[in-house]
Structure 1
Amino acid sequence: MSTFDSTPTSPPPTYPPQPARMKAGHWVLLIIGVLLALLGLVLCVIGITAMTVDAAQRDGQYITFESEKIQTTGYAVLSPSVVVIPDELGSPTVPAPGDIANLQVRVTSSVPDQEIFVGIGPASDVATYLQDVPHSELGHESWNHDGTKLFSSPRSAEAPVTQGTSVPTDPTGQTFWTQSASGTGTQEITWDFEPGQWSLVIMNADASRPVWVDVQAGVRSDLAHDVFGSVGIGLFLTGLAAFAVGIVLLLLGAAGLGRSIDPVLAAGTQHNEPPSTVYPVRLTGHLIEPLSRWLWLVKWLLAIPHFIILALLGFALVATTIASGFTILFTARYPRPWFAFSVGVLRWTWRVGFYSYSALGTDRYPPFTLASVDYPADFDVAYPERLSRGLVLVKWWLLAIPHVIIVGILTTGSMGATWVMSTEADTWVQTSSGVPSLLGVLVLITALILLFTANYRAGLFALIMGINRWAYRVSSYVLLLRDDYPPFRLDQGPVEPPFLEPDPSSSKPVTR
């Protein structure tokens, strides 16, 4: 097994000079391709959603939402009132209310054998019926003093109760309900939207308290059913065509940019992979001092143009990687123009990271180019003449898992939400927690030291470079650029360490 030494070595081998500029036509192809592909994806998603909605409403079925457990210590649960405007819906040119939407409500008591009542009636009559009656209104969320949302359990909502001293009369005896149902087990009502202002009420059938129920709502629309099927298919096919054309333009643009920045392709010379004196993925970064005490505070703002371009390039990078993966599977070769483009995107990303919040190693603004240029930070990957057909199927996800976990901890950190039982209120409280990444902590410490001393600690810089180097080695492996498995080493310093191999005649490694 190859080993690595942490002693700095000379810079990577020198390549032929880069072309002066990348052709604007290739950029136009790439940008149009990315935007067209993204538009196609959006249209496909909308089309699939429309077709799914249409399929869910066939044969009179309803689109149902997730069941929710509702608990209240009051006598009733009241929904927000629904207003249906009669002037518009009653006009001859607008479909009848029942054609626009139908509502379905299913209510099940959480208490065995408890009879439940559910009804819909005019909002004014419901308000009169529940006047001075303690009840809960849906849509009113309960919050703690510290800003965390309060729930009775991770999957149920305990609504606040209004003030009141009256006890309601039997709900089943009221005559103003438009639709109602009562009894044990699951009670269901369906209601066609009608002009007016309406409210939904859920109670125990005997008008007792508290009310504990599971509620599931559903909706269907004959108008949407008639429209969504044909519209969904049209949007999906249009999106599919736009996506296909966009991907073709994107790949052509990426290939053109790759040819323009690859010195071998630009010069038309035969490529010979440089000697393996260093690991084939080479990341360098030279600390340029003095550094501004305060500039790091606004570098995120100054780098916004780069972030926008890198977002487009990142989408293109995924597309070229997938296309290259299929090519490797059949030819065992990574198309060199796409290879140069992929390396260029990683190079651009590293320069922006070195300038901003991956290293803060220089105040010199990054150039807008994929090519290697005179800049304190650089990235390169030696082009492989052949790649394994079999590894392309597993290395980017299965074999890379150990490295991805480690790099994720080093560079990303973690965020999550947890549920904690509150002993004071006997309820569950949702809280958020997070663990910052090691790289983020180190860069923050560096920024604070810069702010007060204008100095960058050499030890911190070496460690930050080592973390970034590990991350970019793993990225190159996941992006199929090399078959060389990344070492489990935190190789620190501004340049790559020398590559060592064991000497067959000695137990000590020697430099090759």
Structure 2
Amino acid sequence: MKLTIVHQSQYSRGELLLRTFFGFFYIVIPHAFCLYFLGIWAAILHIITFFSILFTQRYPKANFDYFLKFFRWQLRVNARMLNLSDGYPAFGLDATDDKTSLEVPYQEHVPWTKALLIFFLGVFILIPHILCLVLLSIGAWFMILFGWIAVLFTGNYPEGMHQYMVRFLRWSMRVNLYLYFMYPYYPPFNGDPDTDAGSIMDKMDFAPAS
């Protein structure tokens, strides 16, 4: 999984203030309206995907593509509302964005044992991640506040703060992808970019050879 948000050399103070005072109305409401209904369909597809993997051990490519586009849309909106990117997030599942990127390799084969584990116990086995993310969210709020002040007075978002937020979003995204059977391993306890090597936590996938 590759999640990136471009760190701009300069940020717009005007857009920052506009998002702060009116972003809920012109960004959150219209996008949340669309994502709400798309999310309902995503939930239905999640169940369909589970049964498809359960009986065939194959991940339907169309479902995978839909989820990926859905998460990309969420990322576009989050990047703007967290002031990590300027510009207005594009509407549409097929929309492109030059500020954010989310790439997830398609894995056709998914063991039915893994799907069964995640579908019924995923939230429970991810409790350690949830607790870590809750604690990190406290730091995220400080990054949002200090980043906001920095952009307002200097037009620059401190790179270290920007990276903290990107790592936080990357960690959160991995957890979501795992619940949707899209991430092949038990998520690592960090927000680092993925490496080719698997984690020792891969053992939790309980994946048989066939």
TM-score (norm: length of structure 2)? 0.82
1:308 pairs, out of 33, 36, 43, with 33
Hey, what does 1:499 align to over in structure 2? 196
Partner of 1:400: 126
Is it true that 1:344 corresponds to 2:69 in the alignment? yes
Query: How far apart in 1 are the matches of 2:9 and 2:88?
Result: 14
Where do residues 19-168 of structure 1 align in structure 2 (5 Å cutoff)?
Answer: none
Distance 1:336 1:374, change over 3 A: same
SS in 2 for 1:485: coil
**Change beyond 3 A, Cα 1:369–1:475:** same
Over the residues paired in the alignment, what is the CA RMSD in angstroms? 2.0
Q: What is the aligned partner in structure 2 of residue 448 from structure 1?
A: 149
> 1:499 Cα deviation (Å)?
3.3
Does the Cα contact within 8 Å between 2:60 and 2:108 map onto a contact in 1?
A: no
Question: Is the radius of gyration larger for structure 1 or structure 2?
Answer: 1
Q: Gaps (5+ residues) in structure 1?
A: 1-280, 412-436, 503-512
Indicate conservation of the 8 Å contact 1:351/1:366, yes or no.
yes
Residues in 1 aligned to 2:195 and 2:125: alpha-carbon distance in whole angstroms: 25
1:103-126 per-residue CA deviation (whole Å, 9 max, x = no partner) reads xxxxxxxxxxxxxxxxxxxxxxxx
Question: Which of 175, 189, 195 is the aligned partner of 1:488?
Answer: 189
More helix by share: 2
Quick one: which of 444, 457, 460 aligns to 2:158?
457
What residue in structure 2 maps to residue 318 of structure 1? Answer: 43
The 3-state SS of whatever aligns with 1:394 is: helix
Separation in 1, partners of 2:25, 2:12:
16
Kindly report which structure 2 residues correspond to 1:421-440, keeping only aligned pairs within 5 A, or say none: 437-440=138-141
1:345 partner letter: F
Number of residue pairs matched by the alignment: 191
C-alpha distance in 2 between matches for 1:449 and 1:390: 48
Q: Percent identity?
A: 29
Q: TM-score, normalized by length of structure 1?
A: 0.35
1:369 aligned onto 2:70: no
Aligned with 1:479 (options 151, 176, 180): 180
Query: Following superposition, which runs of at least 4 residues in structure 1 exceed 6 angstroms of deviation?
Result: none
Rounded to whole Å, the distance in 2 between the matches of 1:500 and 1:328 is 24
| CA-to-aligned-CA distance 1:232-268 (integer Å, 9 cap, x gap) | xxxxxxxxxxxxxxxxxxxxxxxxxxxxxxxxxxxxx
Give, in whole Å, the separation in 1 of the partners of 2:81 and 2:85. Answer: 8
The structure, 1 or 2, with the larger RCO (C-alpha pairs under 8 Å, 6+ apart) is 2
Q: What is the aligned partner in structure 2 of residue 70 from structure 1?
A: none
**Which structure has more strand as a fraction of its residues?**
1
Please state how far the C-alpha of 1:501 moved relative to its aligned partner: 7.2
Instruction: Measure the CA separation in 2 of the matches of 1:500 and 1:340.
Output: 24
